[in-house]
A and B are shown apart, each in its own frame.
Chain A
Amino acid sequence: MTAAVRAKGASRTKVDWFLLFMRVALLSLIAIGLLAFFAQQLDPNNAFARWRHGGDAAHTLTGDQYKGLVVTGLSQGAMYGLIALGYSMVYGVLGFINFAHGEVFMVGGFTGFIMANKLDEAGYWEGGAFIPAVLFTILVCTLVSMATAVIMERVAYRPLRGSPRLIPLITSIGVSFFIQNAVILLFGPGAKGYPSNPDWLQQKRSLLGLVEIEGIKIVVIVVAALSMYALWYFVERTRTGKAMRAVSEDKEIASLMGINVNRTIVTTFAVGGAMAGIAGILWGLLFRSVIATTGFLPGIKAFTAAVVGGIGNLGGAMAGGVALGGAESLAPLMLLEPLGVEGASQLRDAVAFTLLILVLLIKPTGLFGERLSSEDRA
């Protein structure tokens, strides 16, 4: 029981005090970290910085470095957001977390690996053929991930419809292991490399003279933004999207309207899978390597992003993804490094999950989440 749902007037229990302590401690850490950061930017040789860095001055962050971190965070966050959409949509419609969704993303990355290498062998991964080749690859990855998600629903989840929610949840962990191991069986356990991107994509280019960005990160951000816009349009403006929102709110009444609930659920998986597939190929293009376990950490992070944004809320999933990517990228150098934490850049994962805990402590429904009624909470 958190303070947020504690009945008014009830006295605080030990757990409440502990939660309050955690909130205060985390927020103070952030406040002190930020203060220390601003202090070191103004005077790298201030007393606090010298104390925390064993007598040395702090390393200040230059404007360009800072911009670079923002861009990295944004591109990473855009991919988290794309994956998070799938978690959120399936949760909205079926009320369970599909932990195998990270594997749908990984399948997209592997499809990209196969496509990119085949196209590279045929000589299409460079020069003027590159752009159509990449677009074609994105399309195929989207379709393969979509198919993976749809088959998953048909084979693993539909037979469990109507059973307690814990059962599909545990099944999804099983599905996740199954897909990971199937990929190891097919491609071996090693990392698979993408062919090099053309030089013009690797080079940094200036955007409005404000910031230098590697071309590939621009591609990631632009493709992710376009996909999110397409999804938003689909959900908010089309008849099928309307049906999807109706099903996520009340299946019985949706079917009374004549909506085919099963087909709508399949559509939900398909659309969520497509977004994960796009994230998969973008991930591959950016990091140029995939491995059977590629889906695990981004999957968990995207789930975190969905919860941070408010699970079931699509705008929240996107915002949560970007917030998480940004925090991962910025917090180590803006909060931890000024506090004298060594190797702060290695702590990105810790930052991500601390953000999750922080949001759950302060706003349990997520940034944009609505309060769930008791019947939704099972």
Chain B
Amino acid sequence: MASDYTEILQRLCHHLKKFCEPNVEITPETDLINQLAIDSVKLLNLIMEIEDEFDISVPLNALADVQTVHELANLIHRIKYTEQ
């Protein structure tokens, strides 16, 4: 389970890099809003990429409690491994 999470985190960070400046360092604590400036349009793209990458569906209600990279990775993990 722990390694699944690590893998998800790595893959997620790979996608997040496309949404921010090249020199930004992304850690689990990185704030999606403040530090990566994910606005509502970028968010749509990000969700689409996440859904395609992980073959999951991300419900909107769950995003209301997501602010950091760790929280997003956790959500993906939860959806992916509890749904199946």
Is A bound to B? no
Query: A: which residues have CB within 8 A of B?
Result: none
